[in-house]
Amino acid sequence: MSFEARLRDIVGANHVITDGDLSAWELDWRKRWRGRARAVVRPASTIEVAAVVRACAAAGVALVPQGGNTGLVGGGVPDDSGTQVLLSLTRLNRVRSIDAANLAMTVDAGCVLQAVQEAAAAQQLLFPLSLAAEGSCTIGGNLATNAGGTQVLRFGNARDLCLGLEVVTAQGEVWDGLSGLRKDNTGYDLRDLYIGSEGTLGIITAATLKLYPQPAAVTTAVATPPTLESAVGLLALAQARLGAGLTGFEVMNEFSLGLVRRHFPQLTQPLAPAPWTVLLEQSDNEGAEHATALFEGLLETALERGLITDAAVAANLEQSHTMWHLRESIPLAQSLEGLNIKHDISVPVSRVAAFVAATDAALARRIPGVRLVDFGHLGDGNLHYNVQAPDGEDAAAFLRDREGEINDLVYDAVAAHGGSISAEHGVGLLKREELAQRKSPVALRTMRAIKQALDPSGLLNPGRVL
Amino acid sequence: MSFEARLRDIVGANHVITDGDLSAWELDWRKRWRGRARAVVRPASTIEVAAVVRACAAAGVALVPQGGNTGLVGGGVPDDSGTQVLLSLTRLNRVRSIDAANLAMTVDAGCVLQAVQEAAAAQQLLFPLSLAAEGSCTIGGNLATNAGGTQVLRFGNARDLCLGLEVVTAQGEVWDGLSGLRKDNTGYDLRDLYIGSEGTLGIITAATLKLYPQPAAVTTAVATPPTLESAVGLLALAQARLGAGLTGFEVMNEFSLGLVRRHFPQLTQPLAPAPWTVLLEQSDNEGAEHATALFEGLLETALERGLITDAAVAANLEQSHTMWHLRESIPLAQSLEGLNIKHDISVPVSRVAAFVAATDAALARRIPGVRLVDFGHLGDGNLHYNVQAPDGEDAAAFLRDREGEINDLVYDAVAAHGGSISAEHGVGLLKREELAQRKSPVALRTMRAIKQALDPSGLLNPGRVL
């Protein structure tokens, strides 16, 4: 039996796709990497995934696992050799069980994040992971890349929201590590090793996720700190006053919000333009009135202390949505403005202001007129520090000619401030070489030893991460 | 140069101890395992730890790392061969730095947990890990065993409180994975692999820890649910009402509290004896008055719904301490009552009541008059389900003759309820064979492959975990 026939035997002829337009699987979301798959294989169960992996292992064929294909670093599309099998997990899309009394649910890896959120909400529970691609990304991809998003300040990354995993190993065995336990110290933490390994150590087929009671009210506020340092001061004040009630703390520089004004003039901005605007989100167990009173007390103190010059608390859900909508429109406004050089970096919160001051100045010296779209999850020290060509310059040429030089400058500054060159997007293809340059040699050797131990033939997502 | 001379050369002659009474290092806290070390070596720095490891590797000598020697599973004492070096980390005891604005601190592995808590408190910050041995256990040991304790419900296990590690590898290299970052997706999660590996994959020499703002008030309450099921119902209600404000939820059966009354008659128990008593702890960002009002509202609703029959809210700090003191006196009261068979198990919160009902009944059938000291962290599904000989029976003989049979019964029940045989104490020597029997073969193979990859000569804490 040929290799393709064996695959058809496992998943059914309809689910082994070799002809026609495969760009839904072969082209990444940013349209930056276009590969060519030997076949797209769409198993419907963990058993089928395991059988596909065994067939690939027997034939020495490499596998690239893919969820919603929304990754930003080229980790989920095949290379252009035409030899790799693209393993799409999207048919594994059942919510297996919800245990409300244990605040846990078990779902297939191919479930779309939003479907997971909705299944929890149907039980009056909260699955807090939230990010821009939630309408199409899958929970398996979220876990494989340890996705971040807007709720990390309170609930942590995808890693922190996972109690257990089911994984198909490189040998095609199924590890049933699904678990509803909050405490389990029986051996090495395989769960967290697979999480964030971008499909290079095993294929996540299901996960048990943490749920939370839904808060009684969620409300937002915006405020304008005179400097980025005062924004960090406001964060500390908000954390002390609201504790775990502070569920979001985003920052946007004036150029980011200016782009939103330019490209989405219909969106109302609640405060006058200022160098920095922050968005605070509070989740309250008592109710909207209590939340608003806490917000008002907090912002009053911040005004008195000079940490902010102006503020507005959302009076209702619609105003809350408007505030978030402004923040979430930045990436699109930025795209409409033209290509740019994206960074997903983090530094300790205490060093964010110094990092931005130093890096802004160095870039301005190097590239007069450079424009910086600087926004992100300040509460986590995570900035999308994006660099746009000077007004009037050709954006495509700028990206082509200056990306390497700008990355060097930005990543050197990140390193100097104790930061990471990939906060929440992963390594994939995009940052693999950078990682090999910048990660400690001991860490790289340890990572390679683990890869060699778990996937000695190197068939799982080769050429990614390491 | 002899091996011992080489060690003296590295750490100084005073810190290589081969003669005299070594029981402080060779005998475990429970006095269950007494080994014999070739030498006790006490390095003072990471550099010295690395040099000791290289010397051991060159000589083919195995190493057993040890912190405060408070472990409960025999993971930190040498075997009785007289060939192993006992590596004591207690001289690595500096708080390296505290970054209040980043809510993080970096400490040496040998820092005593209480010293870490106090260093945070001196900056008006909270390091929430808290457990019975905190006056003598070290943070390195806490991380090597992924310790739990009383604050897991809100803050997670030791793993969840760690941002980064410094580790000496089996090859004697130093991995500087210290980090103040909340988000970092640059490669495999080595941090969490070392955490909980009980010194078998590398030696933790320092850690960056998460800190939190101190709450404005911490207050406690006790309540008597008529059944364990109602206790779980109270937990759900408290989680919905208090959210992250609920920082502790402990349960004690009547026999546990009866032992406290018998052995510590001077301690006042606030409520009349009942089958189950729960202790709730609330940490509040607004203040004691707000916390008390929330507690009273919660307990009133619980009374109305029949989830509890009686309750008392601590009126002041002293009453809070008394409530915790009762809970914390159970292990000692139990020791005074005589030897017993200890279990540190977890099941999903939703299955705790069914597990206890089934296991209590099965034990009572098998051993008429058996006494169960059942208490623990109900919020995490973690019970110390301890079995005491029937009144009047010889406790030592009971332990000797029936431990195997009772463990089988309890662990079979744990497995049937989707639980873990080691929730927060680790595997060590005590549960190694049980783990080999009960863990999935795929997980065991994966763990062994990792051990082989990272410590191919098997010199780090041999015979533990795997």
* Sign of the torsion formed by the C-alpha atoms of B13, B18, B24 and B29: positive
Polymer length in residues for chain B: 466
The residue among B197, B212, B446 with the most chain A CBs within 10 A of its CB, best to mutate, is B446
Among the partner residues B156, B190, B197, nearest to A443 by beta-carbon distance: B190
For residue A17, count other CB atoms closer than 10 A to its CB: 18
Strand locations in B13-160, DSSP E? 16-17, 37-41, 63-66, 84-88, 95-99, 104-108, 125-126
Task: Please report the DSSP string for B196-245 in residue order.
Answer: TSTTSSEEEEEEEEE-EEPPSEEEEEEEE-SSHHHHHHHHHHHHHHHGGG
Q: Chain B partners of A141 at a C-beta cutoff of 8 Å?
A: none
User: How far B434 CA sits from the closest chain A CA (Å)?
Assistant: 10
Question: What is the distance between the alpha carbons of residues A421 and A345, in angstroms, rounded to a whole number?
Answer: 5
Question: What is the distance between the alpha carbons of residues B154 and A236, in angstroms, rounded to a whole number?
Answer: 20
Beta bridge partners of B64: B86
pLDDT < 70 regions, chain B: none
Output the pLDDT for position A168: 98
Output the pLDDT for position A238: 98
Q: pLDDT tens across A367-392, in order?
A: 999 999 999 999 999 999 999 999 99
Question: What is the distance between the alpha carbons of residues B458 and B437, in angstroms, rounded to a whole number?
Answer: 21
In eight-state DSSP terms, residue A105 is: E
Instruction: Calculate helix-pair angle for B330-337, B254-263, nearest 10 degrees.
Output: 70
DSSP-derived 3-state class of residue B342: coil
**Do residue A349 and residue B102 have CB atoms under 8 angstroms apart?**
yes
Whole-angstrom CA distances from B337 to B197, B322, B385 are 34, 21, 16
E strand or H helix at A47: helix A46-59
Question: What is the distance between the alpha carbons of residues A275 and A229, in angstroms, rounded to a whole number?
Answer: 12
Output the pLDDT for position B338: 87
Q: Chain B partners of A380 at a C-beta cutoff of 8 Å?
A: 182-183
Of B86, B70, B72, B78, nearest in space to B34 by CA = B78
Per-residue pLDDT of chain A (466 residues; tens, 9 = 90+): 899 999 999 999 999 999 999 999 999 998 889 999 999 999 999 999 999 999 999 999 999 999 999 999 999 999 999 999 999 999 999 999 999 999 999 999 999 999 999 999 999 999 999 999 999 999 999 999 999 999 999 999 999 999 999 999 999 999 999 999 999 999 999 999 999 999 999 999 999 999 999 999 999 999 999 999 999 999 999 999 999 999 999 999 999 999 999 999 999 899 999 999 999 999 999 999 999 999 999 999 999 999 999 999 999 999 999 999 999 999 999 989 988 899 999 999 999 999 999 999 999 999 999 999 999 999 999 999 999 999 999 999 999 999 999 999 999 999 999 999 999 999 999 999 999 999 999 999 999 999 999 999 999 999 999 9
Among the partner residues A175, A240, A435, nearest to B213 by beta-carbon distance: A240
> Which positions ≥6 away from B382 have C-beta within 8 Å?
A182, A183, B148, B152, B344, B345, B346, B376, B423, B424
In eight-state DSSP terms, residue A438 is: H
**Do residue A381 and residue B182 have CB atoms under 8 angstroms apart?**
yes
Question: What is the distance between the alpha carbons of residues B462 and B439, in angstroms, rounded to a whole number?
Answer: 19
Q: Does B160 touch chain A (CB under 8 A)?
A: yes
In eight-state DSSP terms, residue A145 is: T
Output the pLDDT for position A273: 95
Residue with tokens 């006992």: B86
Q: Which amino acid is at A365?
A: R
**Do residue B381 and residue A283 have CB atoms under 8 angstroms apart?**
no
Whole-angstrom CA distances from A28 to A70, A78, A426 are 7, 10, 15
Rg of chain A over all Cα atoms, to the nearest angstrom: 23
Instruction: Calculate helix-pair angle for B46-59, B3-11, nearest 10 degrees.
Output: 170
In eight-state DSSP terms, residue B166 is: E
> A–B: how many Cβ contacts below 8 A?
279
Question: What is the distance between the alpha carbons of residues B406 and B398, in angstroms, rounded to a whole number?
Answer: 10
Output the pLDDT for position B30: 86
> Is B181 within 8 Å of A347 (Cβ atoms)?
yes
Residue in A closest to B452 by C-alpha: A453
Q: pLDDT tens across A3-29, in order?
A: 999 999 999 999 999 999 999 999 999
Among the partner residues A187, A442, A451, nearest to B443 by beta-carbon distance: A187
